[in-house]
Amino acid sequence: MWIKFILTALTLIGFRGFAFQKADTLRLTLLQVVEMAKSNSIAAKQAITVKETKYWEWRTFKSNYQPQLALEGILPGYTKSYTQVQQPNGSILFQPVHYDNSSLTLNFTQSIAATGGTIYGTTQLQRFDDFDRNSVLYNGIPYGIGYTQPLLQFNNLKWDKKIEPLKFNESKQVFIETQEKIAITVTEYFFDLLLAQVNLNIADLNYTNTKRILNIADTKFELGKISKNEILQLQLEVLNAQKAVGTAKRDVEIATLNLRSYVGIEGSDRIKLDMPSIVSQMTVAAEKVLSEAFENRSEAIGFIRRLAEAKRDVAKAKGENGLTATLRANLGFSNAANRAFDIYRSPKNQQTVELQLSIPVMDWGRSKSRTKTAQANEQLITYTVEQDKQTFKQEIVTQVTLFNMMKEQIQLTDKAEKIAAEKYKIASERYVLGNLSITDLSIAFQENDRAKRDYVSSLRDFWGAYYQLRYLSLYDFEKNRKITY
């Protein structure tokens, strides 16, 4: 009867997981852990902060092309002092002054990206109070407009309009990549804990079963069916199994702390992870991954941006060499009066035209050297980008091959685990019946443990490759859609 009881107990060896769940246990799947990390982890919060920073940088760039309106003023401009005054004969006298010189100016500016010029308008009112003479004077510009146009110079607005949208789109894709990078990282923490829990489960079951086998062996020894050496071997196995339980508990605590810390799980609930399955029906082609990667990845956008920045630097080097000129022109009306409103009555027109030139006469080849340096750097960046593209492609092709291999590998390890569990069950039954040596039982015992761990490792490799594939393409191949947040 007792042999039948032992055989029934030994059938529990192939069981995965714990037989019951405590009320204070938090049970989680891989998908739940990934989503929690993307929402609560410090890495996720940092990514959101960077995303907001890039957004406001983009808004700052956009404002450079919008009309600007500014009110400037000096209110008051009070002065009471002595100041030097040159006399008609050339001598200097220090005279007391006591006045208030206040002014208000409303300026409007609008940049023209196509030409790099700026159109502006202004209106101004100035009041001068001379307290020594009790007089008030007004001066003002009812309205005036003007235009400033750099000639033969680098147009920063034009190039920013090409490059800044690339930077902004790049930053948006970087945020998505960061989210997928979080998934890759938390998957490692997940499987660290899962493997530790599996090891603890194996250690507990092995310890229980080894003690039961020792009890059976003790009965056999009393009957003279086995030697003292075999009893000692089983006693050593029990001690080793007990040590393995302690080690496994320690590993579970460490892995739990690491996962809880990274994901941001608060509280003291015990965490129990579910064994994830595989996405067996998903097929991935390298051509599709490459297509999505070059369309979605920030690195692909970065290729275009880096080439554009190199061209911009060449244009800047050329624009800052040789003849440079700036044309300024404005027209409007101005007036002076004793009363404020008289400023706007019959104002006098005013015009200004100015052409400012700068012509290097002798720079010892500096201008040419700057241009050649920029052109050489452009060529270098072109080659570098081409090399980076090749590395980019190769990484994706390698990852696709690895992922497809992992799908096949995990099916093999799954079968191997089931065979090893069945083999150990049969070996245990044979040992109880007395037709198997302790050495063969130990071999079956080790193979069963190794098969279980190999299965978890294969799952780890599969899901690591899966999330790496998502990261490299920013595409969800399971749902056949682009990844967005």
Distance (Å, whole) CA 315 – CA 344: 46
Q: What is the pLDDT of residues 91-111, one digit of tens each?
A: 899 888 999 999 999 999 999
Domain assignment present for residue 315? The answer is no
- Tokens linked to 374: 């920029």
pLDDT band at 81; cut points 50, 70, 90? very high
**Are residues 301 and 350 both part of a single domain?**
no
Share of the chain above pLDDT 90, in %: 52
**pLDDT digit string (tens) for 108-134?**
999 999 999 999 999 999 999 999 889
- Same domain? For 253 and 329 the reply is no
Q: DSSP states of 321-354 as a string?
A: SS-EEEEEEEEEEEEEESSGGGGGSSPEEEEEEE
My answer on whether 192 and 83 are in the same domain is no
Residue 316 falls inside a structural domain: no
**Which residue in this structure is represented by tokens 């104002």?**
347
Same domain, 36 and 185: yes
Whether residues 170 and 235 share a domain: the answer is yes
Assigned domain for 364 exists: no
Q: Tell me whether residue 368 is in a domain.
A: no
Residues 17 and 164 placed together within one structural domain of the fold = yes
Tens digits of residue pLDDT in 148-205: 999 888 999 999 999 999 999 999 999 999 999 999 999 999 999 999 999 998 888 8
Instruction: Tell me whether residue 318 is in a domain.
Output: no
Q: How many domains does the chain have?
A: 2
Asked if residue 200 is part of any domain, the answer here is yes
Show the beta-strand stretches assigned E in 338-477.
348-358, 475-476
Asked if the structure places residue 392 within a domain, the reply is yes
The residue range of the domain holding 188 is 2-60+160-309+375-482
In a domain, 365, yes or no: no
**Can you read off the two tokens belonging to residue 107?**
């300026």
Q: Are residues 173 and 271 in the same domain?
A: yes
pLDDT band at 3 (very low <50, low <70, confident <90, very high): very low
Same domain, 329 and 396: no
Residues 235 and 340 in one domain: no
